[in-house]
Amino acid sequence: MASEKIIDGKAFAAALRGRIATGVAAFKAQTGRAPGLAVVLVGEDPASAVYVRSKGKACREVGMESFEHRLPADTTQETLIELVEQLNDNPAVDGILVQLPLPDGLDDKKVIDMIDPDKDVDGFHPVNAGRLAIGANALTPCTPLGSLMLLKDRIGDLSGKEAVVIGRSNIVGKPMAQLLIQENATVTLAHSRTVDLPAVIRRADIVVAAVGRPNMVRGDWLKPGAVVIDVGINRIASDEPGKTRLVGDVAFDEAESVAGAITPVPGGVGPMTIAVLLRNTLVAASRREGLADPEGL
């Protein structure tokens, strides 16, 4: 790897968590309490369980309160919504995150819709999506916001840059496009029906890949010097029998030789997601207490 091209999300996230810890200390001094994040895990999905544990650990490291609620896989929709309503009413809870995906038989959308938008630190509630679309103070989905932070840290001013976002999910693609528009980039939101996708991508100064297809974006699809944010996390067979490895949506070795800068997988966007979740929780807590948004976050 040519290290000067690598966008080190792990290092950026660590620095961000340090700034958050400072902000949490200031919040405690002003309010007499710590910001609180409640995470709800339904069922025993191993990956989700690991993720929930890591969120709790990250909370404690920056001085936040962590409230974990673990429910069995056969939990009813009514029971889950009742818990969400209790968390909405709990003054110690500033952020609510329901770990997705939910087990079969539970409606993700209905559950998310029941979360208080001002505690929706995942940024998935329709109210926050609407706020983001009109440029109001939204709680923004963590992965897109983390990606934007990495872009601005590497490029600086994004005004006038041509950006292509590949993937139109509500979780990454659409909010990523909105964030780039707010930074005055010219944005194309590409997807599976886009005609001649490689030609569209070759115009871009910024490429954000979020499609969930391993190594889809090839090196010769890129404009020389483009900055590439690879959101994909795909597990594929390793060269070693019986083992797997993580790759992104971009063919890294090909792209790294063409791009001006690129996020690796792992170690790029991934570490930013939990760091931004903590940031969103501190912002939500500050707004609930009538305080200004913390600076530098």
Give the pLDDT confidence of 188-246 residue by residue, as tens digits.
999 989 999 999 999 999 999 999 999 999 999 999 999 999 999 888 888 888 888 88
Do the first three CATH levels of 31-117 and 142-271 match, i.e. the same topology?
A: yes
- Catalytic residue status for 122: yes
DSSP 168-216: --TTTHHHHHHHHHHTT-EEEEE-TT-TTHHHHHHT-SEEEE-S--TT-
Assessment of whether the complete model's pTM goes beyond 0.85: yes
**Which amino acid type is present at position 286?**
S
Architecture (CATH level 2) of domain 142-271: 3-Layer(aba) Sandwich (3.40)
Label residue 131 exposed, middle or buried (CB < 10 Å: 0-12, 13-18, 19+).
Answer: middle
- Percent pLDDT > 70 in the chain is 99
Which among 122, 205, 230, 249 is annotated as catalytic?
A: 122
Q: Strand 65-71 relative to strand 95-98: parallel, antiparallel, unpaired?
A: unpaired
- Catalytic residue status for 174: no
Q: What is the pLDDT of residue 21?
A: 97
Q: What is the pLDDT of residue 7?
A: 98
Whether residue 32 is predicted with pLDDT greater than 80 in this model: the reply is yes
The answer regarding whether domain 31-117 maps to CATH 3.30.450.20 reads no
Tokens of 151: 């872009």
Residue located via tokens 């496009």 = 177
Under a CB-based contact definition with an 8 Å cutoff, are residues 236 and 244 in contact? yes
Q: What is the pLDDT of residue 2?
A: 47
Which among 5, 94, 99, 249 is annotated as catalytic?
A: 99
Tokens of 13: 């996230």
- Catalytic residue status for 30: no
Domain borders along the chain are 31-117, 142-271
Tens-digit pLDDT profile for residues 61-92 = 999 999 999 999 999 999 999 999 999 999 99
* Termini Cα distance of the chain: 30
DSSP 131-156: HHHTT-SPPPPHHHHHHHHHHHHHH-
